[in-house]
Structure 1
């Protein structure tokens, strides 16, 4: 009895309680392997060399003091380490979110550019993003990331890259431009060049920094190019006294751990902040899911979309309470951690601890860092956002997707990043609706030597049965396309000679809504009056049950539903004795042009 009691007590003490094991960070600690420790420590040191300069640079990209980038980095790494399901995903300030934060916060800041108010607004924005992410996780809305299609995302990112690049060029050359839109910034930059506003020493640091980063990334990818450039820039500023030659420097950073702060903003600021938070949350979610999927595939993990949303929410919550701003995952920083041997989120914790030690023990370390060097970091990051080959591939493969890409690009470039993300989402949704509204539709025939029935546009010599038309409509029947379906069937029914059966190859018809049901009922009554019968083949059982529930079998003969097209054709031949017409007598394709869908084999999409 005593032995069993001791064993029971011993069993209960093994590992954390069940509720705590549900927390990914606790679960990771309980399953941590001792042999990972050295690799995680080394990877944490390597990662820190990238986190510090990028955090400061992306804070300035968002219109905030550089120190907020370090505060944000510390807290989001710790927050994700506790709640994140991925072993090596790295979070932090992101180049794609910086312009969105600036577009949301800066219009609300007073004309004097109060940095304290900007930080408070950015912190509230992070808290709102956290709330959106956590609520979306609870509601299991991870699919929302699919609202941005690949073509519109390519256009959005290309527009974002151009916006960042143009916005950083004046800073890269040592002067400022007061403009909020792309055209204004371009005009201001050209005026600055014409007026001789360029600071030669700043231009040398900025342009030299870009060249150095790109060359090192190309020739020595394992070398931390950003760190090398930053160290050399600080050395140059110290040795040559660049501050006295008109080069702006970062200056002394505040000392110590970021303070816990409840941001104080006006009630009137909340609506515009919420709009920005929704856009930032959508981009962050799409970025997180794509990065998590890519790195999970390499490590053999499964992507848990809803847990990732909750973890991103926790990271933003932590950042927002310590003078930070919204964050997302970073593919580049995660790749650096992976190449450095990271095995767990301890890598990020090490990075956060090292940044804290730097702020406590050596806050003046980056005092002489030139601002053009930070601009060089941002410019090189913007170049990585752009996907010109992807846009060229869309032009070659599918012109309609290329036009979507261009529209998203112009939306971001001309209207701004926040309207741009709205345009990207709207275009993606409208493109889906367009495919449902104008689906591909065709007549099928029998092809010699090929099993089944096939598109007569792809096989012009396909044979057909006199009096029978086999018609395929590649979409669910909904209010948006029901009238187009009706018009196609009426055109086929009025052909000469007039068919007696029109067989709908209905396998692609995954739904029939009430509007389409009414149209079908009117269509069938009209066809019956002309001696033409509407016949369905391969209709899925759920759709068949809906048709019966709508009462359509009052007009559509229940005997005119067949499990396969072959069964419908056999029934028609048994009833009429019809024989297949030779290829030369085959009916021509219907006179209407195909919709924007895909035929078999796929036609070239040049529309």
Structure 2
């Protein structure tokens, strides 16, 4: 039982149903038609030889089948990770590095990502996925999509561009078009491939549009001898195990890049796993997912691979093809191995513009303009957060943009705690309980009483806002005698807030005003006792409900409800 907990593949073998076998075999073959061209294309997007994409796809599928908990998720090279990997490699060894240097660094990066994911999984740190809020994730992915699009367009048009960063790449693209470097055969082949992929994905999503585009483009180059760059023959055989290699001075940059890739991988994995688990009735085991993907990255690092993540598009293809278990991924991995052993020349005439079309189609699927429009309609603050994350990627680059997105997500949480919603409550006609007077301006009030709600924990960041609001009540409300705090939303009181409450209660008492709490949670009340605040705040001024507190005030003062003037 303990072994199957940490190695879900054991339990998957024990519970496998023979009736699933035909569906898994068919789904595995269908999946292979997507794994091969996408794996090669995303390897080039990451600045690596195309063959490494096949090695990576094969190894990570096998490792996840052993350690991954989901029956349906498909791992592999990912379009959102490609630009991040390329940025790290260029930053470490420059543009003119040899393939061997790039592969060694990419393998080290995969090892770091794998170790970080394993540590996160064993330490139950799934909350790291929350470092990217939805609005910042939307903006970040839109920025990634634009970066990929601009970076791949020159290849689609038949020429190369050497710019570093979105602005420089855009300038090179415009300059290349203006100088007449566009190759019309490349435009025709790449444009055709892109049209096939996009149209079929929209109209006939079950038809493997990527496979059709690859087959037809390869045949066109072979038959008509078109003047376009091709992939060339692939090395025959399986990858040889090798230790990841990197110099000591590169480890710092690799670690920063690995952390960013880990956060994106976590976010993709949790969201994709949740979406497909809801469809299939499974439960998401977030910590084991991190262990499964971490193991896949570690395995890839020792076989000339690079960092991987889950893929929503490939998972959807596998599910639509009838996949029932991770045997689908195993079949895909074996099929890639057979291709490398038996027919490595099969894809030698695959046009580079078609690989660019595959990547551009993936970039278009990353972009989510409707989500931006929805944020604009629903909450302008979060729309501008998404715009800031987008500009961070577009202007600063992929890794700095990732940092901007994470910082903005954290600051947005801090902003909500720093300036929480506050409300004065009253009794509205026809409604039970007490309600916000800004929503119900005719709600009845009691003379000499303010019923106040503060919708956040009381901590160092916001306690001064809380204090100044209560001081304003003491200054502006005539004949004020009690301030009742509706404390149910206050989930914590830290030591800084406790010191301020001590000072504030003494100040209010000197003015003849009592500070009263209602509906305070028991763990928070325990902290109040531990801080010994009840030496200052009267223990009798803590009530289980707002009704009890209001009733006590009315007994003491004889006040009656009245409508505001």
TM range (shorter): over 0.9
- Structure 2 counterpart SS, 1:512: coil
Whole-angstrom CA distance in 1 between matches of 2:328 and 2:477: 75
Are 2:299 and 1:355 aligned? Answer: no
Alignment counterpart, residue 32 of structure 2, candidates 45, 48, 54: 48
Whole-angstrom CA distance in 2 between matches of 1:194 and 1:226: 31
Report the counterpart of residue 340 of structure 1 in structure 2.
321
Alignment counterpart, residue 299 of structure 1, candidates 280, 287, 292: 280
Are 2:66 and 1:85 aligned? Answer: no
- Structure 2 counterpart SS, 1:63: coil
- Structure 2 counterpart SS, 1:365: helix
Report the counterpart of residue 219 of structure 1 in structure 2.
203
Whole-angstrom CA distance in 2 between matches of 1:160 and 1:539: 46
Query: Per the alignment, do residues 500 and 269 of structure 1 end up closer, same or farther by CA in structure 2, a change over 3 Å counting?
Result: same
Alignment counterpart, residue 504 of structure 2, candidates 506, 523, 547: 523
Are 2:397 and 1:413 aligned? Answer: no
Contact kept? 2:451, 2:485, Cα under 8 Å: yes
Report the counterpart of residue 454 of structure 2 in structure 1.
473
Whole-angstrom CA distance in 2 between matches of 1:112 and 1:412: 24
Query: Per the alignment, do residues 564 and 318 of structure 1 end up closer, same or farther by CA in structure 2, a change over 3 Å counting?
Result: same
- After superposition, where does 1:157-196 map in structure 2 within 5 Å? 157-196=141-180
Whole-angstrom CA distance in 2 between matches of 1:454 and 1:111: 63
- Structure 2 counterpart SS, 1:364: helix
**How far 1:498 moved relative to its partner?**
2.7
**How far 1:112 moved relative to its partner?**
3.1
Report the counterpart of residue 42 of structure 2 in structure 1.
58
Query: Per the alignment, do residues 401 and 20 of structure 1 end up closer, same or farther by CA in structure 2, a change over 3 Å counting?
Result: closer
- Structure 1 counterpart SS, 2:32: helix
Query: Per the alignment, do residues 20 and 145 of structure 1 end up closer, same or farther by CA in structure 2, a change over 3 Å counting?
Result: closer
**How far 1:111 moved relative to its partner?**
5.2
Cα shift readout 1:406-426 (whole Å, capped 9, x = no counterpart): 010000111111111111111
TM-score calculated relative to the size of structure 1: 0.92
- Structure 2 counterpart SS, 1:503: strand
- After superposition, where does 1:413-432 map in structure 2 within 5 Å? 413-432=394-413
Whole-angstrom CA distance in 1 between matches of 2:202 and 2:291: 36
Whole-angstrom CA distance in 1 between matches of 2:26 and 2:231: 28
Cα shift readout 1:203-253 (whole Å, capped 9, x = no counterpart): 1111111111111122222110000000000011001111xx2x1110000
Report the counterpart of residue 74 of structure 1 in structure 2.
58
**How far 1:326 moved relative to its partner?**
0.3
Cα shift readout 1:355-410 (whole Å, capped 9, x = no counterpart): 11111110000000110000000000000001100010000000000011001000
- Structure 1 counterpart SS, 2:345: coil
Alignment counterpart, residue 439 of structure 2, candidates 447, 458, 462: 458
- Structure 2 counterpart SS, 1:275: helix
Contact kept? 2:272, 2:312, Cα under 8 Å: yes
**How far 1:20 moved relative to its partner?**
5.5
Contact kept? 2:454, 2:490, Cα under 8 Å: yes
Whole-angstrom CA distance in 1 between matches of 2:489 and 2:5: 45
Equivalent pairs counted in the alignment come to 565
Cα shift readout 1:126-175 (whole Å, capped 9, x = no counterpart): 01111101111111101110111100000000000000000001011011
Whole-angstrom CA distance in 2 between matches of 1:177 and 1:102: 15
Are 2:274 and 1:290 aligned? Answer: no
- Structure 1 counterpart SS, 2:235: coil
Whole-angstrom CA distance in 2 between matches of 1:378 and 1:114: 23
**How far 1:453 moved relative to its partner?**
0.6
Cα shift readout 1:504-527 (whole Å, capped 9, x = no counterpart): 111111111111111111111111
Whole-angstrom CA distance in 2 between matches of 1:235 and 1:475: 64
Are 2:83 and 1:102 aligned? Answer: no
- Structure 2 counterpart SS, 1:469: strand
**How far 1:264 moved relative to its partner?**
2.4
**How far 1:275 moved relative to its partner?**
0.7
Whole-angstrom CA distance in 1 between matches of 2:95 and 2:471: 65
**How far 1:21 moved relative to its partner?**
6.6
Report the counterpart of residue 388 of structure 1 in structure 2.
369
Query: Per the alignment, do residues 584 and 25 of structure 1 end up closer, same or farther by CA in structure 2, a change over 3 Å counting?
Result: closer
Are 2:417 and 1:433 aligned? Answer: no
Whole-angstrom CA distance in 2 between matches of 1:60 and 1:20: 37
Report the counterpart of residue 200 of structure 1 in structure 2.
184
Query: Per the alignment, do residues 496 and 215 of structure 1 end up closer, same or farther by CA in structure 2, a change over 3 Å counting?
Result: closer
Whole-angstrom CA distance in 1 between matches of 2:74 and 2:496: 49
**How far 1:494 moved relative to its partner?**
1.2
- Give the stretch that moved more between structures: 110-119 or 423-432: 110-119
TM-score calculated relative to the size of structure 2: 0.99
Report the counterpart of residue 121 of structure 2 in structure 1.
137
Write out the 4+ residue segments of structure 1 that deviate beyond 6 Å after TM superposition. none
**How far 1:106 moved relative to its partner?**
2.0
Report the counterpart of residue 543 of structure 1 in structure 2.
524
**How far 1:344 moved relative to its partner?**
0.5
- Structure 1 counterpart SS, 2:347: coil
Contact kept? 2:111, 2:244, Cα under 8 Å: no
- After superposition, where does 1:193-272 map in structure 2 within 5 Å? 193-242=177-226, 245=227, 247-272=228-253
Whole-angstrom CA distance in 2 between matches of 1:357 and 1:152: 42
Report the counterpart of residue 541 of structure 2 in structure 1.
560
**How far 1:107 moved relative to its partner?**
2.3
Cα shift readout 1:162-203 (whole Å, capped 9, x = no counterpart): 000000010110111111111111111001010001011011
Report the counterpart of residue 9 of structure 1 in structure 2.
none
Whole-angstrom CA distance in 1 between matches of 2:552 and 2:539: 14
Contact kept? 2:6, 2:67, Cα under 8 Å: no
Whole-angstrom CA distance in 1 between matches of 2:26 and 2:204: 19
Whole-angstrom CA distance in 1 between matches of 2:240 and 2:485: 68
Whole-angstrom CA distance in 1 between matches of 2:164 and 2:401: 14
Contact kept? 2:67, 2:295, Cα under 8 Å: yes
**How far 1:110 moved relative to its partner?**
5.0
